[in-house]
Amino acid sequence: MELSMEKPVMIALDFKNQGELKHFLDQFPAHVKLTLKIGMELFYGLGPDIVRDIHEKGHDIFLDLKLNDIPNTVEKAMVQLGRMGVQYTTIHALGGSEMIRAAKRGLTAGAKEAGYQTPKLLAVTELTSISETQLHEEQNVGLSMSEQVLKLAELTSQFGGDGVICSPNEVEYLKAKLPEDFLFVTPGIRPAGAEKGDQKRTMTPAEAAVAGSSAIVVGRPITLAEDPVVAYQTILSDFLSK
């Protein structure tokens, strides 16, 4: 079971404690290198030590904290994240150009200080739980969802970001308008026949591959599966088959 590092399946570790996490990871063969997404629940519950523990096991880490604050605060926070040896981390593109630039500056400085490569800086555009109606009626945005996401992706690229977190439904539209090496990391992935849960804009792994996703994020279809290893292998195979 080999993982393509160029097109990773990022497993969202939506666990509330270290025991659940250990039980999940122990089911995978020791030689398998995974890409694991640590989100707010796990990070706020267990702190930076969980990042270091997973890093020491040889897995790649997507630290998804979605920073969104004034540029100086975000820059200082990113220095700390850059020191951890993660491969990917996130901000909100809605934080604006100066915040994006400051985030990349802090991330680069922290990684250099610790002797790591600079993590990929990914920006959240619009959450996959946001519908077109909510975009207009709750966020008061006059653009269509595709236009809004494109504007935020272009802003990210212009000011130092490496890619965006976006719905798989927007990838094909975005790829034609952004640099070739720009990354499109897509949550909202569900195997054929699976429940959508709270995700409103979804695709299967194979559909996301055809659309041009650089990486996909999958949580519950793997972590809650009867056999997580088989579920992961199936999703990985589907994503890499296109």
Q: Cβ(165)–Cβ(125) under 8 Å?
A: yes
Residue 43 counted as domain residue: yes
| Catalytic member of 66, 151, 200, 242 | 66
If residue 80 lies in a helix (H) or strand (E), which one and from where to where? helix 71-82
Binding residues: 14, 37, 64-73, 128, 190, 199, 219-220
Nearest CA among 174, 187, 241, 178 for reference residue 218:
187
Task: For residues 95 and 78, give the distance between their C-alpha atoms in angstroms, rounded to a whole number.
Answer: 14
**CATH code for the domain of 75:** 3.20.20.70
Look up tokens 């995974």; give the residue: 34
pTM above 0.85, yes or no: yes
Task: Classify residue 3: in a domain, yes or no.
Answer: no
* CA gyration radius, the chain: 17
CB 18 within 8 A of CB 46: yes
Residue 70: inside a domain:
yes
2 domain-assigned: no
Answer yes or no: 238 catalytic: no
Query: Does 4 reside within a domain?
Result: no
Report if residue 71 sits inside a domain. yes
Question: What is the CB neighbour count within 10 angstroms for residue 25?
Answer: 20
Catalytic residue among 53, 69, 112, 175: 69
Which residues have C-beta within 8 Å of that of residue 205, sequence separation ≥ 6?
9, 189, 191, 216, 218, 235, 236, 238, 239
Do 117 and 82 form a contact (C-beta atoms < 8 A)? no
Our answer to whether residue 66 is catalytic in this structure is yes
* Sign of the torsion angle spanned by Cα atoms 163, 120, 14, 46: negative
Per-residue pLDDT of the chain (242 residues; tens, 9 = 90+): 333 457 999 999 988 888 999 999 999 998 889 999 999 989 999 999 999 999 999 999 999 999 999 999 999 999 999 999 999 999 999 999 999 999 999 999 999 999 999 999 999 998 877 889 999 999 999 999 889 999 999 999 999 999 999 888 889 999 999 999 999 999 889 887 666 554 455 689 999 999 999 999 999 999 999 999 999 999 999 999 86
Give the number of domains in the chain: 1
Which residue out of 64, 104, 162, 238 is catalytically annotated? Answer: 64
Structural domain boundaries, residue 116? 9-240
Query: Would you say 55 and 82 are in contact if contact means Cβ atoms under 8 Å apart?
Result: no
Annotated binding-site positions for substrate? 14, 37, 64-73, 128, 190, 199, 219-220
